[in-house]
Structure 1
Amino acid sequence: MYIKRRTFFIITLVLVFSTSIVTLAAAKFFGQASGARGNAPQGDDAQQQSSQNPDMAKVYEAYQLIENTALEKQDKTKLIDGAIEGMVKTLDDPFSDYMNQKETKDFNSSLQSTFEGIGAEVTLKNEKVTIVSPFKGSPAEKAGLRPEDQILKVNGKSLQGLSLSDAVMHIRGPKGTKAELEIMRPGLSDPLHVTVVRDDIPVETVYSETVERNGKKYGKLEVTQFSQDTAKHFTTELNKLEKQGISGLIVDVRGNPGGLLDSVVEIGNLLIPNKGVILQVQYSDGKKEVFRSEKGEAKYPVVVLTDKGSASASEILAGALQGSGYKVIGTQSFGKGTVQNTMPLEDDSQLKITVAKWLTPDGTWIHKKGITPDVKIEQPDYFKAAPLPDKVELKRDMNGSDVKNLQLILKGLGQSPGRLDGYFDNRTEMAVKTFQSLHQLPVTGKVDKKTAGAMQEELIKRIQDPKNDLQLQAAIEVISKEAN
């Protein structure tokens, strides 16, 4: 979750001083060094630097030694960027990062309008680039990427050892280009190979619809990300639903990786009744700030849907609603309980630093734990199936994770492969033939590119059918009972 620039006055007061120190320190010492020549600082020069700021004298001295004596010369900007990246890395915090000018521009655009890429929020987890959640309707979602997938390679290049910003630059790219990803998915022994065609990723963050049960109408608002205009769009769509006379509201933050703090607080103001607590923010000095709702009495019941891809600001909203007595339905959320602030440096680069932790209304820190749902329910197994390979033909007597995934898909499509252990036997072959016959494909019993594509299309249809969404159906059942 991010506090962008000077979103909150209190955050500005806390951070503006430290931001100035970072900026001035870099400009003062690295700026002087960039114009220096000759030997490393000695005597009066070193003493002068040390007396001005003893903590930075060592950094200045190292910079001079590298610039003046290293066999392999390096661009000054890269040296400075490397020094800052090194300082940030010592924080051992996957959510703190240094972004150069280009990375800063890309990061800001992802929070504002559209950007080009695969459309997935990622983080560093156990030093692996890990998907928090793909965005709704994005190339990443269409390609079957899931929360907790680890991206090992992009177009053959390993991401091991790269900073998060560097890794993201390899994943993103111009519209129409392909990202050949090597993915390690929890529960599988072998990596998956997934091709994602990059595209424009619009930040369309609020989707509304109505559902009916027992003669009553209920509103459903899906929030895919908390960006600059999310609260405004949420308000507009909520007003439309209320004019239709809804008896309750389902808020869906499944697969929502988070976003801006002010956005979720504004939405909390619309939903948390009786001027209840939305969240608490605790700073490094132990001081707390409490954010309360401005809403009076509740007009109707609310339930919220979460899953493993619900992170940060999504968890704030879920925790706030749960703290007000509303039900959380689905599975355990991601577990990100920290707050980042993006602080601009004078050359238009910026630091993204964890500055606080947020707590639920009752003071619980959910970091690395997540929000525990009141009604726990998993989706059908085939919701977790990976795309079938389009470059490898699967056939009788093959064995491995691709075949195991095929069997999972066949079961989800109503065919019976007989086994789910990854061995392509006679029963699996017969299930493939049955599918091919039903979809007017050559009945070969082999899964070629055409058959794999047809299976993928049919699987997506089933996943998108609300009747198969067990979590949504549970939410409708709960909200119906609450409304009565």
Structure 2
Amino acid sequence: MVVKRRTFITIILLAVVCTSIVTLAAAKYAGQAWGSSGTAGNKQEMVTAPNPELAKIYEAYQVIQGTALEKREQTKLIDGAIEGMVKTLDDPFSDYMNQKETKDFNSSIQSTFEGIGAEVTLKNDKVTIVSPFKGSPAERAGLRPGDQILKVNGKSLNGMSLTDAVLQIRGPKGTKAELEIVRAGMSDPMQITVVRDDIPVETVYAGTVEKDGKTYGKIEITQFSENTAQHFENELKKLEAKNISGLIVDVRGNPGGLLKSVEAIGNLLVPNKGIILQVQYSDGRKDIVRSDLKQAKYPVVILTDKGSASASEILAGALQENGYKVVGDQSFGKGTVQNTIPLEDDSQLKITVAKWLTPKGNWIHKKGITPDVKINQPDYFTAAPISDKTELVRDMNSADVKNLQLILKGLGQAPGRQDGYFDSRTETAVKAFQSLHQLPMTGRVDKKTAQVMQEELITRIRDPKNDLQMQGALEVLSREAK
């Protein structure tokens, strides 16, 4: 979670976003310049550091400036020192952005929202997808929560800060990000091409669904941005005007956002003036946030998955511990709060300053919210796009073929084995698919066949009938409404 109203949190609408998801208010600290003197071969004039505890750092700075063979600009030395201090926190959500990095982010925010549209974090020192945004290029290309990005356009991200990695991944509309991806369960890295585009800024999608003669509302929240709470309230009023018997809140794939936004939405849903969350600081002090809602109007069910992080988990935890059901998968597990602090030279620090707790005082960091009703989606929901760079043919044995077999099974074909060997039954299944879609029955997965398969897979995934988690949530809600 990050804590800043102005520009930084809206980075989540850009290319990718450093995971820092729930936001407080930024404080600005004035910097203090330290003078330096001394040349090679001469005794240096030692100046007292502003804080005695920082004397060692200042002494090292003077020695490097005065004696190092390889000279560096003063700003690079200072940036390096700050980056080093932040790195010792061993916190993937704390970061330092120098002037150029800050300017690049802010200029992108102030102009157009362009990029691949995914939230990322550092996990085990790997740039890892928290969640692609709904309707984004990342989602269309088949990126999934938990995917690790090793390279971008051939450039390794190994050893980069999260900020530097994000700058590699994002870019202008229409340009390509060639990503080398590692996905759990697959032995070999995959190549996924994402065409950068405008990132959708709408965060709330509402509708109704009928079951057993009753009307239920459903609201999907894709992230918690500046206007999300107001949009949510507007849509909720429209649904309530239709006399809904219950509500499904869907935060699957939602990487989080502004703390004030999730607090406002919690205020509309958490009954009996219950606790929405607690924020605990390093000195032990706690802020307890309560709802103003007196009584529940109808039952509520919330949907989560592995891509539900931070602010999404706050809402899920608040509803769960105030008597409502969570349905779906275990959530991501981010339970910290960041503060984004602009420095005097227009660089900025993003530092973890607190942790948030559920209403009952549980810290879900690195654990996530455990659903009351766990439901897995069909296996083909996790399939990767078929690479169009290599034709898949009989007798091949690879991770790409294994992925193909998963897709064929999801599309109602029968590839037989699922181990990555392209045998005669897999070939027959490919021919059956090609025949069904008026493609040449070659049994080979060429570029055209791969494209049609991907389109059919997306159509099947988006069909509500195949969304087992949504169907399960509706079933739970129907029981609760009775």
In 1, the alpha carbon distance for the partners of 2:223 and 2:5 equals 18
| Distance (Å, rounded) in 2 between the aligned partners of 1:147 and 1:289 | 31
In 2, Cα distance between equivalents of 1:186 and 1:453: 24
Q: Assess if the C-alpha contact under 8 Å between 1:113 and 1:202 holds in 2.
A: no
SS in 2 for 1:347: coil
Specify which of 62, 70, 74 is matched with residue 72 of structure 1: 70
Match of 2:101 in 1: 103
**Residue 123 of structure 1: aligned partner:** 121
Counterpart code for 2:2: Y
What do residues 280-327 of structure 1 show as CA deviations (whole Å, max 9, x unaligned)?
011001111100001111111100000000000100000000011100
What residue number does 2:364 align with? 366
The CA deviation at 1:393 is 0.2
One-letter amino acid of the structure 1 residue matched with residue 68 of structure 2: A
Bigger relative CO (Cα 8 Å, ≥ 6 apart): 2
**Candidates 259, 280, 283, aligned match of 2:278:** 280
What SS class does the counterpart of residue 149 from structure 2 fall into?
strand
Distance 2:278 2:144 in 1: 30
Measure the CA separation in 1 of the matches of 2:307 and 2:108. 18
Tell me, in whole angstroms, the C-alpha distance in 2 between the residues paired with 1:205 and 1:113.
19
Question: Paired residue for 1:466?
Answer: 464
1:85-109 per-position Cα deviation (integer Å, ceiling 9, x unaligned): 1110000000000112343355568
Q: How far apart are the structure 1 equivalents of 2:321 and 2:111?
A: 32
Alignment-derived partner of residue 136 in structure 2: 138
- Write out aligned runs for 1:88-237 (5 A): 88-105=86-103, 107=105, 115-237=113-235
Report what 1:332 is aligned to: 330
1:106 to 1:254, Cα distance in 2 relative to 1, 3 A: farther
Contact 1:40 1:64 in 2 (8 A): no
> Would the aligned equivalents of 2:279 and 2:357 in 1 still touch at CA under 8 Å?
yes
Higher helix share: 1
In the TM superposition, residue 216 of structure 1 has moved relative to its aligned partner by 1.1
* Separation (CA, whole Å) in 2 of partners of 1:386 and 1:310: 20
Is the contact between residue 308 and residue 334 of structure 1 (CA under 8 Å) also seen in structure 2?
A: yes
| Count of residues paired in the alignment | 467
Matched, 1:319 2:320: no
Aligned to 1:4: 4
- Deviations 1:420-445 (CA, angstroms, capped at 9, x unpaired): 01000000000000000000101100
Aligned counterparts, 1:8-87, within 5 A: 16=27, 20=29, 23-24=30-31, 27-29=32-34, 32-33=35-36, 36=37, 38=39, 45-46=45-46, 48-50=47-49, 52-87=50-85
- Tell me, in whole angstroms, the C-alpha distance in 2 between the residues paired with 1:40 and 1:336: 52
Match for residue 19 of structure 2? none
Cα distance change on mapping 1:360 and 1:460 into 2, 3 Å:
same
Q: Distance in 2 between matches of 1:55 and 1:281?
A: 30
Q: Secondary structure at the match of 1:3?
A: coil
Bigger CA drift: 122-131 or 98-107?
98-107
Cα distance in 1 for partners of 2:134, 2:303 equals 15
CA distance in 1, matches of 2:269, 2:109: 23
Partner of 1:407: 405
Corresponding residue for 2:287?
289
Structure 2 residues without counterparts, runs of 5 or longer = 10-22
Return closer, same or farther for 1:111/1:255 CA change in 2, 3 Å cut-off: farther
Aligned 8 A contact 1:152 1:160 in 2: yes
- Residues 54-92 of structure 1, C-alpha deviations (whole Å, 9 max, x = no match): 222222232233333333333332222211111100000
Please list the CA deviations of residues 257-285 of structure 1 after superposition, one character each: whole Å capped at 9, or x if unmatched: 11111111011111101110000011001
1:346 deviates by 1.1
SS in 2 for 1:432: helix
Kept in 1: contact 2:24–2:258 (CA 8 A): no
Equivalent residue in structure 1 for 2:436, among 417, 424, 438: 438
Contact 1:5 1:342 in 2 (8 A): no
SS of residue paired to 2:206: strand
- Please list the CA deviations of residues 383-441 of structure 1 after superposition, one character each: whole Å capped at 9, or x if unmatched: 00000011000000000100000000000000000110100000000000000000010
**Distance (Å, rounded) in 2 between the aligned partners of 1:2 and 1:158:** 27
Aligned-partner SS, 2:277: strand
3-state secondary structure, aligned to 2:448 = helix
What residue ranges of structure 1 are gaps of 5+ in the alignment?
none
Amino acid at match of 1:318: A
DSSP-derived class of the 1:2 partner: coil
Matched residue SS, 2:385: coil
Which secondary structure does the structure 2 equivalent of 1:132 belong to?
A: strand
* Residue of structure 1 aligned with 2:261, choices 260, 263, 269: 263
Rounded to whole Å, the distance in 2 between the matches of 1:102 and 1:304 is 41
Paired residue type of 1:155: N
CA–CA separation in structure 2 for the residues paired with 1:190 and 1:300: 48
- Identity among equivalent pairs (%): 75
Distance in 1 (alpha carbons) for counterparts of 2:463 and 2:77: 53
Answer with 290-299 or 423-432: which moved more: 290-299
| 1:18-64 alpha-carbon deviations (Å, 9 max, x no partner) | x53xx42xx322xx34xx56359967x42x414x4222222223223
CA distance in 1, matches of 2:279, 2:61: 38
Quote the RMSD (CA, aligned, Å).
2.0
